[in-house]
C-alpha cells in the first residue's frame, strides 16, 4: 500500500531523516519505533504532507504522492492521529467527530461513520454533548482516534497513542488498535513504547538519528541487539 524510497527531510536545511526506506502492506499493522528525537514524528508528518521531502519518493497505492498537498493525501485516505491528541477543547465530542469527516471523500458517509465510531467507543457516546476539553486524557485519545476514523482512513497513522495515558487506558487503546487491524485496516503505529508495539504489530522498523537501523518481523526486531542500542545508545 505504501512505499517510501530514500526519504530525506528536515527543518531549515538541517536533515532529520536520511535515506529512509519503508514499506507497509495492505491490512498490516506496522510499528515505527525509536527513542526521542529519532525522527519518528518528522517521518509521519512527511507522509501527511505537513513536512516536505527534500529528496526521495512516497508512493501510495502505486501513485507518487511526494508533492501532493496534505488535503489531497487526506482525500486519498492517509489519516494521521497526531501526538498529543489535539482535540478542539471548546467543541463537543460530536463536533470534533464531525470535523473528522469534512474531506470530500468522507463527507457523504459522515453520519454513518460517526455511528460506527460511537459503537466502537461507547464511552464517547456517553459524552457526546460534552466539551472535549473536559474529557480525561484517555477519553481525549479515544476521541482523536474516533475523529481519524470518521475521515475514512485507508492508512491510519497513530503518533504516540499511549503517550501520557494511565495504564488502563493504554491497554484499552491497544485493544482498539487490535480490533481495527483485525477488521482489515492498515495501521502505522509510531511509538516509543517498545514492548507494546512489538507485541501488537506484524512488522517493525527502528529509527535511530533519522535512519532505519533495524527492520523485520516483530520477534526478530525484539531480539536484535541493535534495537537496544537505538533506545539506550549503547
Same domain, 160 and 70: yes
Domain-embedded: residue 192: yes
Domain-embedded: residue 125: yes
Cell 508495539: give the residue: 197
Same domain, 142 and 159: no
Domain-embedded: residue 46: yes
> Above 70 in pLDDT, residue 164?
yes
The DSSP output letter for 69 is -
Domain-embedded: residue 133: yes
Report if pTM > 0.85. Answer: yes
pLDDT, one tens digit per residue, over 29-47 is 999 998 888 999 999 999 9
Same domain, 7 and 21: yes
Structural domain ending residue among the three candidates 108, 135, 152: 152
φ and ψ at 224, to 5 degrees? -80, 125
Same domain, 138 and 39: no
Same domain, 169 and 139: no
Structural domain ending residue among the three candidates 134, 152, 170: 152
pLDDT of 22 reads: 97
Same domain, 186 and 221: yes
pLDDT of 232 reads: 64
Same domain, 27 and 41: yes
Same domain, 140 and 158: no
Same domain, 63 and 173: yes
Q: How far is CA 134 from CA 66, 81, 120, 150, 206, in A?
A: 38, 19, 21, 21, 36
Domain-embedded: residue 82: no
Domain-embedded: residue 100: yes
User: With bands split at pLDDT 50, 70 and 90, how would you rate the model's confidence at 145?
Assistant: very high
Same domain, 73 and 100: no
pLDDT of 195 reads: 87
Is 90 buried (19+), middle (13-18) or exposed (0-12) by CB count in 10 A? exposed
Phi-psi region of 37 (alpha: psi -120 to 50; beta: other; left: phi over 0): left
CATH of the domain at 179: 3.40.50.300
Domain of residue 111 covers 87-152
Q: What is the mean pLDDT of the chain?
A: 93
User: With bands split at pLDDT 50, 70 and 90, how would you rate the model's confidence at 233?
Assistant: low
193 or 19, greater pLDDT: 19
Domain count within the chain = 2
pLDDT, one tens digit per residue, over 56-114 is 999 999 999 999 999 999 999 999 999 877 899 999 999 999 999 999 999 999 999 99
Same domain, 95 and 200: no
Same domain, 158 and 226: yes
Structural domain ending residue among the three candidates 152, 174, 199: 152
Amino acid at each position: 500500500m505504501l512505499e517510501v524510497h530514500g526519504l530525506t527531510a528536515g527543518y531549515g536545511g538541517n536533515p532529520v531523516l536520511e535515506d529512509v526506506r519503508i514499506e507497509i502492506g495492505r491490512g498490516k499493522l506496522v510499528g515505527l519505533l525509536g527513542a526521542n528525537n529519532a525522527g519518528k514524528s518528522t517521518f509521519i508528518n512527511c507522509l501527511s504532507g505537513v513536512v516536505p521531502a527534500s529528496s526521495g519518493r512516497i508512493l501510495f497505492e502505486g501513485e507518487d504522492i511526494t508533492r501532493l498537498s496534505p488535503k489531497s493525501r487526506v482525500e486519498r485516505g492517509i489519516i494521521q492521529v497526531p501526538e498529543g491528541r489535539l482535540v478542539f477543547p471548546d467543541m463537543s465530542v460530536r463536533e470534533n467527530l464531525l470535523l473528522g469527516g469534512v474531506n470530500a471523500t468522507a463527507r457523504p458517509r459522515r453520519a454513518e461513520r460517526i455511528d460506527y465510531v460511537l459503537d466502537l467507543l461507547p464511552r464517547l457516546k456517553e459524552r457526546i454533548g460534552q466539551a472535549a476539553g473536559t474529557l480525561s486524557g484517555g477519553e481525549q485519545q479515544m476521541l482523536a482516534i474516533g475523529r481519524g476514523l470518521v475521515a475514512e482512513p485507508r492508512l491510519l497513522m497513530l503518533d504516540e497513542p499511549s503517550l501520557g495515558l494511565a495504564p488502563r487506558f493504554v491497554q484499552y487503546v491497544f485493544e482498539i488498535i487490535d480490533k481495527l487491524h483485525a477488521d482489515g485496516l492498515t495501521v502505522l503505529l509510531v511509538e516509543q513504547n517498545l514492548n507494546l508495539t512489538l507485541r501488537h504489530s506484524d512488522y517493525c522498523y527502528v529509527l535511530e538519528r533519522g535512519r532505519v537501523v533495524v527492520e523485520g518481523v516483530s520477534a526478530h526486531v525484539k531480539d536484535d541487539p541493535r534495537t537496544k542500542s537505538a533506545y539506550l545508545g549503547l
